[in-house]
A and B are shown apart, each in its own frame.
Chain A
Amino acid sequence: MIEISHLVKKFGALLAVNDISFSVAPGEVLGFLGPNGAGKSTTMKIVTGFLKPSAGRVTIFGCDIEQDTIAAQRQMGYLPEGAPCYEEMTPRSFLNFVAAARHLKGAYANERFQQVVDTMSLQAVLDQRIETLSKGFKRRVGLAQAIIHDPKILILDEPTDGLDPNQKHQVREMIRGLAKDKIVIISTHILEEVTAVCSRAMIIAEGKVVADCRPDELEQRSKYHGALTLDFDESVTAGDFLGAFAGLAQVALVESITENNQLTLFPRYKDQSILLDVSHMVRDRQLPVVSINQEKGKLDEVFRAVTQELNS
């Protein structure tokens, strides 16, 4: 259990974290979202005991991070932003160092070592200097050190930043594959990542929590939630059919996207699907529609709306 209450962090005149409170229970995968400089990394740095808060309190399974730092840090694995390492070391010596610093010994240390090397597919580069490794491998070495002691809490600051799609997929699989009784906090500005791995999403902007809910609830806040996108055949112009759909009782608004030859139909009531009405109409009138997609909601649109609301 991580409990954060009234956390404040000032850097000189800059208020980086402005009175944040929340708690995370085992089994939750919490995604921190927010623009750059919103306070995501700062919050993580305080939770892991790297920075001291200006005010407020953080406890890790009952251990106060300021009073009982070591006991709290034992329970956490942390991947700092940019995955810094000792570049002159090899992954083998680096992981052994972290294992020793985390009090892993003997057969258990070997077993854990082998396990993280397998999970992160590091076997091929174990004896190569970290500075010579590609960005993807460096990130995986960083992740490996974070999980080597099988921590109850995993804190990952932008774990997939700079990785190619395959590597991103691997990292997400790894996070999903963690035992269900762990706490994971990841920060990202890739919104699809939140829906892919998180059970809870939190948007932070200007040092404050501006949204805290399930990713699908976040999507529901989108004006696109439940909207239908219709692709029209190339032989016709989508805009010509705008009037026809606008006439439907359940449709509140129709937008034409000329460059894609698409129409977007917004439902009048968010909880009532318009799919049936629209598809009936397409069938009955034999309209040249190639495909119909129902939108779940656009996270980046919600993200922009929520974070910009604060500015205005």
Chain B
Amino acid sequence: MNGITVIAGREMRSYFATPLAYVFILIFLVLSGVFTFYMGNLFEREQADLTPFFTFHPWLYLFLVPAISMRLWSEERKSGSIELLLTLPITVFQAVLGKFLAAWLFAGLALLLTFPVWLTVNYLGDPDNGVIFASYIGSWLMVGGFLAIGSCMSAVSKSQVVAFILTGVVCLLFVLAGFPLVLNVFRDWLPIIVVDTVASLSFLTHFGAIAKGVLGLQDLVFFFSVILVWLVATTVVVEMKQGQ
């Protein structure tokens, strides 16, 4: 436990030691505002809810999350500090988890800072705050899934650019998994059970379910499983590189 918190604490401090954290939060807030008010037509809809705000989150995360996650391991490997990190009395999984938690909390902080949007709809109308709360939780869980994928991709390559692109592509696959565009490719030549499995991996489906206001067990289990699986994969990749 000590190892995880020490690593997470260091990571968190290092976000704020560079302009990265501030730039990220600023861009996230500006873009989510643009998406909500201009493209989502929050006002014109004349409905007191945050659906337009949350609808764009998966697409926003698609290119913002890789920007946080790409440095998780690539930078350590490039600067050589990974040698220091892995010779401290800390297991690889503790380091993986610590780094992930810091990134996840940081993303959570960015998400929390969107509260003026929530204040706006509460000022203008009488929204269902339970649904909004569930949507925030869902959005944060989804960010966790994206970050766990990004953590693994970052461990694969020493280059942050490669890590960024790989993360974007894999995350896109997970977002689109429920779309007919993807499913039709499989439908012709794979058994239906496989197609259903692919469809059930879709972040959109599970996020959509939570955003309706239902924090269903299966959606929670889904996101936590995705996070766990990708973090274990990260551990395996980091350990594999130690053997090479």
Chain A residues proximal to chain B, CB less than 8 Å: 11, 45, 48-52, 69-71, 73-74, 76, 78, 80-82, 84-89, 93, 97-98, 100-103, 129, 145
Q: Assess the B90–A101 pair: CB atoms within 8 A.
A: yes
- The answer to whether the Cβ of B10 comes within 8 Å of any Cβ in the partner chain is yes
Q: Assess the B3–A101 pair: CB atoms within 8 A.
A: yes
Question: How big is the B interface, by class?
Answer: 20 to 34
Alpha-carbon separation in the docked complex, A44 to B14 (Å):
28
Alpha-carbon separation in the docked complex, A81 to B3 (Å):
24
Binds A, one of B23-31, B75-83, B205-213: B75-83
For window 67-119 of B, CB contacts with A under 8 Å fall at: 79-81, 83-84, 86-91
Residues of B within 8 A of A69 (CB): 91
Residues of A within 8 A of B9 (CB): 97, 100
Residues of A within 8 A of B10 (CB): 86, 89, 97
- The answer to whether the Cβ of B185 comes within 8 Å of any Cβ in the partner chain is no
Alpha-carbon separation in the docked complex, A147 to B242 (Å):
24
Instruction: Identify which of B2, B13, B79, B91 contacts A84 (C-beta below 8 A).
Output: B79
Alpha-carbon separation in the docked complex, A49 to B3 (Å):
17
Instruction: Identify which of B80, B89, B242 contacts A103 (C-beta below 8 A).
Output: B89
Alpha-carbon separation in the docked complex, A76 to B86 (Å):
12
Q: Assess the B83–A102 pair: CB atoms within 8 A.
A: no
Residues of B within 8 A of A52 (CB): 242-243
Q: A87-B79, A88-B17, A101-B6 are in contact. Are A50 and B86 (CB under 8 A)?
A: yes
Among residues of A, the one whose C-beta sits closest to the C-beta of B20 is A88
What 4 A-B pairs are tightest by C-beta distance, nearest first? A84-B80, A80-B83, A88-B17, A52-B243
Among residues of B, the one whose C-beta sits closest to the C-beta of A75 is B89
Instruction: Identify which of B7, B14, B83 contacts A45 (C-beta below 8 A).
Output: B83
Q: A86-B10, A88-B17, A88-B18 are in contact. Are A98 and B88 (CB under 8 A)?
A: yes
Q: Assess the A101–B14 pair: CB atoms within 8 A.
A: no
